[in-house]
A and B are shown apart, each in its own frame.
Chain A
Amino acid sequence: MSNQKKRNFQTEAFKHRVVVDPKYADKTWQILERAIHQIYNQDASGLSFEELYRNAYNMVLHKFGDKLYTGFIATMTGHLKEKSKLIEVAQGGSFLEELNKKWNEHNKALEMIRDVLMYMDRTYVESAKKPHVHPMGLSLWKDNVVRSPKIYSRLLETLLDLVKKERTGEVIDRGLLRNVTKMFMDLGNLCIRLILRSLFWMLLLCFTRLSLRSLLSLVIVGITRRKLRNV
């Protein structure tokens, strides 16, 4: 590059990038917060991805990454608390179904929120050395729903109950059982250890090998895959 060009290289002053409005961060966050609510209410098809992405990007660019990150966690926690209440009140057999339904909803919402917050995930989260959005969303689910005292023990009981039922020859919803097991796998090591280990041995004792095959293979595959990945 010629020296002449170097001399001519001028950049327009980017002063306009500096935020003057002190309420800027709050205003922008409100837009995003409203969007997260809408996503959880399964009403996302009217939202503009471009607008949300741009707002999240601008917040990070103007050094409000921290506000954005904590805001997202707080909002999501709120939603999960609500969900866990809804699951708690579910009666009898619909308990597992409700849990599974909410889990699916949460997953879908989390995916969308991750996409909107992608810029933050790539830059702010990396430099601040915080957990990424997706793992964070999973662990929030774990802490607020699965480990909520009213759900945790009931979940164990229900699963055991299902197993017993099958043993006595009743027809159970295997698909549901598989989905719930898969949830534990997605939630990762800790949950597997916490729940499945205790459940697993109990199941082994009272369960015929044949009907357990699907469950067993899933769990073993899950654990070994994780182990392998950690090697």
Chain B
Amino acid sequence: MVAAKENNSLTVAPFECAWSDDLKFREAGRGCVAFDAFAHNDVTVVFRENVGSQHYHYKKDNSPHYIVIIGSNRNRRLKIQVDGESVVDEEASDLCRCSLEFESYWISIYDGLVSIGKGRYPFQNLVFQWQDSKPNCSVQYVGLSSWDKHVGYRNVSVFPVTNNRISLWKQVDYREVKGFVEEEEGMGCDYEQWGLGNFLESWELSDVIFLVGEEEVDVPAHKVILQASGCFPLSSSDGDVIQLGGVSYPILHALLQYIYTGRTQILESELAPLRDLSSNFEVIPLVRQCDENINRLKLSNGASDPCKSVELSCPVSHPLSGFMFPTAFPADVGKLKTFYSSGEYSDIEICLSDHGLTFQSHKVILSLWSVAFAKMFTNGMSESHSSTIYLTDVSPEAFKAMLNFMYSGELNMEDTVNFGTDLIHLLFLADRFGVVPLHQECCKMLLECLSEDSVCSVLQVVSSISSCKLIEEMCKRKFSMHFDYCTTASLDFVLLDQATFSDILESADLTVTSEEKILDAVLMWCMKAEEPQRWEDIDELMNYSNPEILFKERLQSLDDLLPHVRFSLLPYELLERLENSNLSRQVPVFNRLVKEAASFLASRLTCPGNETTSRFQHRRSSFKELQYIRDGDSNGVLHFVGTSYGSHQWVNPVLAKKIIITSSSPTSRFTDPKALASRTYVGTSFAGPRMEDGRISSWWMVDLGEDHQLMCNYYTFRQDGSRAYARSWKFQGSMDGKTWTDLRVHENDQTMCKAGQFASWPITAANALLPFRFFRLVLTGPTADTSTPWNFCICYLELYGYFR
């Protein structure tokens, strides 16, 4: 058995290859495969026309194929091979996570364009791209292979690469649920294929007519589209007619098709007239392409067949930018923008009735992006025969941004104070009118801006839009990973609906310093708390009140939410207190859960039973609590790390390279990182000043390492033997070592007054609940010693809090 399929995952043994009929591109030569892989090296993916055997090996394959090897040469290089020849061999050392965990990748092939990326979302985080000069358009089956070590694959799924990358995103949403699936045919969604192509030779919204040939066949078109793509003899009045006596219909059709869809087909014999017509109207990209083809035919003369047709398509600047208007069309963005600002050829006035603003626009531009607008202009209701339309409930800033997007294909939001609100409004607007690419851009931007502070408000908003599932999931995840912060820093979370809050509580990522916090949060949510309260406060309120009054309409929700609290993780003493509380007496479910947990703990103390329900299991991601007891104790992080997280005697963690301490001045006899981590007293230890951004700066910085974070709630440092006492400084935390968040700001702090003195400070703000990897102490004002005002004299440092 090559592949052991378990929970949608399979393991491929060395020198073997897994194939499946499911792992197949729907269209030969075009498709994308996304998967998670777990390997030391050589994640090898094979693309070929037919299914190979179990013992398939690409070194022995004679038929045409593509091979992508991620983490080749002991996880140092990325390779692409075509038919046994290495065509790409790139330095890429960090692609495999060395068997630490599953890593997500995607590989897409589109007519010989091989793209490789990291992460769960196809076309995001592109790592490498390579274009095959002789595209192999027959590859269809995907084989998952290995080299000399086992490779684990899971969540493998294959998507079609359509000319609309948005549909990819959509499929990602339910990919996680199914695992090995290929997406199903969408039900009658003509909305997905909507675009400028729908208006090719359509009488709808047309404002100019071509009369072609002797018979004067009339062909409708749209001025703004024509004029953006070339230079046509048009007036700004209605009902233009362009006479083309000497041109046959197929030629004009090819020209219009090129303008409206970005591609066309034409017989070789008709290339020359098409070239003449397009140069007549200055459709430059088409002229250039015709010329290229004519020259190519001249070079291979004799062999040419006048009945053969040639494919002409508009050069796309970036194949992965999608086939969006106007980037993949011959239309000139600059021209479009001037038509927008000048209102030339405009045939519609849009009036935002709530704000009294009007915009000049073009029906065809609005319609090509949005089916809703197209129908508004054509389906026979009052807007169809009016040149002014009124929109209600539309924010002017968002509408402006949407129009800009429609004319330029780019989303440009001004970075104003209301940026967040405007973006949300725009998201709603894009969703309301079905402007899918804009919706997508908004989602992307929103994800980039997402922070612990905004998850709640974003969650409230997006949960009503069904097309924002991805954002909703990300928000929930972020919330559950920063549960302490999100439930403490603001009480917005009580406004979430029950389903959302319940999802967060159920999340496997839920990270919390103590289970008590979850209990507090559930109680606060159920009573729609307006100020932060702990369970004790609520319990006290119960003395004068009853559950019906306290929890009102959410009393029922207690029954659903309280079971998510894992009471058995609470200390036994606390459980006893809970058991005797008013809450337990008056809320039956509370009583039941506390009793259950207590009896569970009691039984486990005697005989360890089997823990079946999740209610009794530890949370996967909980923190180790490192509590400050006294100055210079051995409970802090630096000491804990020095014992390799509690596994042996203390060794200086700086020497053991478990943590890195740096300072503003170079390491020397008197600026010694390892002294700071040890508890031995050093008479002279300081960080000297340096210039940063034109200002004097002295600091000490601790890096806990990539895999560790600390929610810091206390810190200690010790003055060295000098009298240069720090008076104004900041204690800061950071995740990336570049952007810093203040944890505690000291201004003219007189605490230090003796040489060799210890001093400790708590971090009290909500920021104490944010985990950080980097911490630093930075001097913000001169010290008490005027001779060395910028020496930050510290000989010992310790941090406390919740560590993981």
Contact = CB atoms under 8 A, between A and B. Distances in A.
Decide if A and B are genuine partners: yes
Interface residues of B, number: 46
Contact of B381 (A1, A4, A48): A48
Contacts of B396: none
Contact of B379 (A7, A9, A112): A112
A9 B372 contact: no
B415 interface: yes
Contacts of A112: 379-381
A127 B463 CA distance: 14
B420 A122 contact: no
A48 B372 contact: no
A23 interface: no
Interface string A120-138: 0011101100001011000
Interface centre among B381, B450, B464, B465, by most chain A C-beta atoms within 10 angstroms, is B381
Main secondary structure, interface of A, reads helix
A132 B187 contact: yes
A14 B434 contact: no
Interface stretch (A57-65, A147-155, A207-215): A57-65
Contacts of B458: 11
B187 A11 contact: no
Contacts of B128: none
Contacts of B1: none
B392 A54 contact: yes
Contacts of A118: 191, 371-372, 375, 434
Given A9-B419, A11-B421, A118-B371, A135 B464 contact: no
A217 interface: no
Contacts of A17: 461, 464
Contacts of A52: 381
A174 to B, nearest CB: 28
B449 to A, nearest CB: 4
A134 B421 CA distance: 36
A5 B451 CA distance: 10
A119 B434 contact: yes
Interface centre among A13, A49, A53, A115 (most CB of B within 10 A): A49
Interface stretch (B317-325, B383-391, B502-510, B795-803): B383-391
B454 A49 contact: no
Contacts, number: 122
Interface in A42-95: 44-54, 57-58, 61-63
Interface in B359-391: 371-372, 375-376, 379-385, 389-391
A58 B461 CA distance: 14
A3 B739 contact: yes
A49 B383 CA distance: 7
Contacts of B375: 49, 115, 118
Interface string B461-476: 1001111000000000
A57 B432 contact: yes
A119 B432 contact: yes
Interface in A1-56: 1-15, 17, 44-54
A111 interface: yes
A115 to B, nearest CB: 4
A1 B415 CA distance: 11
B382 A134 contact: no
B382 A54 contact: no
B457 interface: yes
A51 B392 contact: yes
Nearest to A49: B381
Contacts of B741: 3
B87 interface: no
A112 B382 CA distance: 12
B460 interface: yes
B372 A119 contact: yes
A48 B188 CA distance: 26
A57 B376 CA distance: 14
Contacts of A1: 448-449
Nearest to B735: A3
10 contacts: A8-B419, A9-B420, A9-B449, A11-B461, A46-B381, A47-B381, A50-B392, A53-B372, A111-B379, A122-B191
The 5 closest A-B pairs by CB, nearest first: A3-B739, A115-B375, A6-B451, A49-B381, A11-B457
Given A6-B453, A12-B457, A52-B381, 16 more contacts: A1-B448, A3-B736, A6-B451, A7-B453, A11-B454, A12-B424, A14-B424, A14-B460, A44-B380, A45-B380, A45-B384, A48-B381, A49-B381, A61-B464, A111-B379, A115-B372
